[in-house]
Amino acid sequence: MSTTFNYKHLYYFWVVAKEGGITRAADKLGMAVQTVSAQVRELERSLGYALLKPAGRGLVLTDAGLAAMQQADQIFQLGESLPDRVRDAVSAPSVRLAVGISDGLPKLVVHRLLQPVLGEPNLRLLCHEGEFDDLLGDLALHRLDVVLSDRPAPNNANIKLYNHALGSSAMAWFGVAALAKVGASNFPGSLATLPMLLPTGHAAVRARLDLWLEQGAIRPRIVGEFEDSALLKTFGASGMGVFPAAEWVQDDLLADGGMQRLGGCEGVMEHFYAIGTEKKVQHPLVLRLLQPALHNP
């Protein structure tokens, strides 16, 4: 890197790229357009490559600019977390665990998966729910300590991630008493006569459920599909339809007496994973999450 490289110049370039133009970036920064433009040109001079090129009334990134933007994103996103990290370091002693939770993972399962660390004194648990790929990006940037998911991370030449299997659970069908009474006769064929709630494709188990229904020649009457498993359970508890859930959390589902189990979903399993950036896990709480062996009910 050139000895004239300046991180302030990189920051101005980063804002220009995010805003899509020097004028908008100057407004955001509260600076003159000429000043911002000169700072970006100085960065290009120090790197030896053009980073931006005209496109219509705005600017777009060159190939060199794309590479610089990827690095700048990591640098300044990490920088944004610096105040929190410093505050945490000087505040009351705590053990911090930042967990990404894939939006396809059932919420009752999440609580069970985190149970091994919940008794930790001075625990500061930060849970971030989001789409799977976004969470893996945050994990790669070390904004998360671990990601909990219902699927393993795919192979990626640019991001080194490690999958740790936490266990799996068979699936079963549940519903309110009135629906369970109807469904108990001639199960599982009776599912075709009942309103059905299903998770969307965000949940890895959806494809396995669809295959199970197809193989059983069951043509479901789907009345609702939900990305959020808590919403799925809520609408199921209201009597809108029967729904599938992991048998691993059956006791929680049946605890209030409002729902009943119709029957099993033979051969369909839901799998749970912890995904990290280290082959040999160092974080003590992540290690603790990986210790218990999860068994099917």
For residue 54, give the CATH number of its domain: 1.10.10.10
Question: Which range marks the domain in which residue 260 is found?
Answer: 95-297
Of the three residues 21, 49, 80, the one that is the final residue of a domain is 80
pLDDT tens track for 189-207: 999 999 999 999 989 999 9
Is residue 118 domain-shared with residue 63, that is, in the same domain?
no
Of the three residues 80, 114, 138, the one that is the final residue of a domain is 80
90 domain residue, yes or no = no
222 domain residue, yes or no = yes
Q: For residue 294, what pLDDT is reported?
A: 38
Question: Residue 102 pLDDT more than 90?
Answer: yes
Percent share of the chain, pLDDT over 70: 94
Is residue 110 domain-shared with residue 63, that is, in the same domain?
no
Contact call for residues 199 and 225 (beta carbons, < 8 A): yes
139 domain residue, yes or no = yes
Percent share of the chain, pLDDT over 90: 45
Grade residue 297 by pLDDT with cuts at 50, 70 and 90.
Answer: very low
The pTM score is 0.66
Is residue 99 domain-shared with residue 74, that is, in the same domain?
no
Is residue 61 domain-shared with residue 189, that is, in the same domain?
no
200 domain residue, yes or no = yes
Q: Is 279 exposed, middle or buried (0-12, 13-18, 19+ CB in 10 A)?
A: exposed
Is residue 132 domain-shared with residue 256, that is, in the same domain?
yes
Is residue 119 domain-shared with residue 247, that is, in the same domain?
yes
Non-local (6+) Cβ contacts of 152 within 8 A are: 163, 165, 273, 275
Is residue 74 domain-shared with residue 221, that is, in the same domain?
no
Question: Residue 5 pLDDT more than 90?
Answer: no
Is residue 134 domain-shared with residue 17, that is, in the same domain?
no
Give the domain CATH number at 138: 3.40.190.290
89 domain residue, yes or no = no
Q: For residue 171, what pLDDT is reported?
A: 96
Grade residue 92 by pLDDT with cuts at 50, 70 and 90.
Answer: low
Average pLDDT over residues 28-47: 90
Question: Residue 212 pLDDT more than 90?
Answer: yes
Is residue 222 domain-shared with residue 281, that is, in the same domain?
yes
pLDDT tens track for 121-169: 888 899 999 999 899 988 988 889 999 999 999 887 677 889 999 999 9
Is residue 102 domain-shared with residue 66, that is, in the same domain?
no
Is residue 248 domain-shared with residue 173, that is, in the same domain?
yes
Is residue 167 domain-shared with residue 268, that is, in the same domain?
yes
Rounded Cα–Cα distance for residues 125 and 57 (Å): 46
pLDDT tens track for 244-296: 999 998 998 898 788 999 999 999 999 999 999 887 888 889 999 888 643 33
Q: For residue 295, what pLDDT is reported?
A: 39
Counting the structural domains of the chain, the total is 2
Tokens of 63: 């190939």
Q: For residue 89, what pLDDT is reported?
A: 65
Grade residue 94 by pLDDT with cuts at 50, 70 and 90.
Answer: confident
85 domain residue, yes or no = no
244 domain residue, yes or no = yes
Of the three residues 31, 57, 80, the one that is the final residue of a domain is 80
Rounded Cα–Cα distance for residues 238 and 244 (Å): 15
Q: For residue 293, what pLDDT is reported?
A: 44
2 domain residue, yes or no = no
Rounded Cα–Cα distance for residues 126 and 174 (Å): 31
Q: How many CB atoms sit inside 10 A of residue 62's CB?
A: 15
Q: For residue 93, what pLDDT is reported?
A: 63
Q: How many CB atoms sit inside 10 A of residue 156's CB?
A: 11
Non-local (6+) Cβ contacts of 96 within 8 A are: 88, 124, 126, 145
- Structure-model confidence comparison of residues 69 and 240, the more confident one: 240
- Mean pLDDT over the full length of the chain: 88
